[in-house]
Amino acid sequence: MSVSKPKLLFIYKTPSSFVLKDRELLARNFEVVSFSFNPKHKLLTPLELIREKIFLLLHIWTCKAIVCEFADYHTLLPTLYGKLFNKPCYLILCGTECYSFPSINYGNHNKKLMSAATCFSIKNAAHVMPVHKSMVLSNYTYSDSDFLQQGYKAFCKNVETPITEINYGYDSKAFFNNQSDKKKNSFLTVAVNAKGSTFYRKGIDLIIELAKLCPDYNFTLLGVKDELNHLQLTKNITLLPPVPHTELANYYSQHEFYFQLSIAEGFPNALCEAMLCECIPIGSDVFGIPDIIGDTGFILKRKDIALLKNLVEEAVKSDKVTLAKIARQRIIQNFTEEKREQKLVNVIS
């Protein structure tokens, strides 16, 4: 006789690959009922809150718990109703809800109302599960342009909600090097919708500047449509449109190096996937990036083009075969889907 799984409400904003993966991991252990909070325009947010309220009132009576990915306006009602109906609400913190970067207009705490909604949600949750411990509270040294302390505790005062760090996990069978020869001195970064704050947050401005200084190297920006067409780019930069997540391994496998030169990034999935495909990582010294890379690649300590050029010159002269192999092994040994699933289930159970 089969035993029915406990019911879990899963609330998220957009169905990105890592959100869908978390839903899949949870569905192995719970009966997952999902709700996507995704208004077509910010002015429609109140209507979306009404729709979410109806969803909660239909299902909260029979659920064991509520899990929300990110924290924002969409977590106000789940945390409030969780308190009222004695149903624990768990928040998976992924990045933006922990930061404020006014220089690029990025982060929940860069906007008063959104910051208030985020802090209310975190304070009233039963448990928060950041994808990296630096998102709780950490010193920021990569640039002097913004707050020198980041993490939600820098902006939400007197928070005592229990915390468990749960890193993302990856499938090494889905991401592996499928090319016999990579393009020599080739560098890749994935930056979907590379305009506005994303252009600077992902370090695309640095890559464009670097390409001018390194004409013999090849740089690929994947996920770009036409938002960079107005720029006069050098011939060694290739722009590629977004591709399905299942095809990313083909592009990772063609390149020797992967750039993750972000100003802000919690625990970047593309970096880990690229390392599984034996790309040598070059990343900024922010949040989870140094922990992911470890001793398998290169860390840019400050946002400085001269430092980046020197780092790249060091990288191309390194033992690339060895670094590529140990980059893959680092992800396999430390960041698996199985570890993430087990930790999520342990906290919720």
Instruction: Report the candidate in 312, 305, 304 with the shortest Cα–Cα distance to residue 141.
Output: 304
Considering 111, 135, 166, which residue would you say is the last residue of a domain?
166
Does 277 lie in the same domain as 194?
yes
**212 and 96 in a common domain:** no
- Work out the mean pLDDT of the chain and round it to a whole number: 95
Phi-psi region of 189 (alpha: psi -120 to 50; beta: other; left: phi over 0): beta
Check whether residue 112 and residue 235 sit in a common domain.
no
Residues pairing with 10 in the sheet:
34, 67
Residue pLDDT, tens place only, 132-160: 999 999 999 999 999 999 999 999 999 99
Q: Are 159 and 187 in a shared domain?
A: no
CATH number at residue 194: 3.40.50.2000
Alpha-carbon distance 258 to 275, whole Å?
A: 8
Residues 317-334 have a mean pLDDT of 97
The mean pLDDT value for 278-287 works out to 98
Mean pLDDT of 92-118: 96
How many domains are there within the chain? 2
Q: Are residues 156 and 202 in the same domain?
A: no
| Whether 108 and 13 share a structural domain | yes
Count of positions (residues) in the chain: 349
Calculate mean pLDDT across residues 296-325.
Answer: 98
Residue 273 lies in a domain: yes
Q: Are residues 145 and 190 in the same domain?
A: no
Q: Which domain holds residue 215?
A: 183-334
265 and 207 both lie in a single domain: yes
pTM confidence score = 0.95
Tell me: do 214 and 313 sit in the same domain.
Answer: yes
What b-and-e string marks burial along 223-240, b requiring 16 or more CB atoms within 10 Å of the CB? bbeebbeeeebeebbebe
Residues 12 and 150 in one domain: yes
Same domain, 62 and 203: no
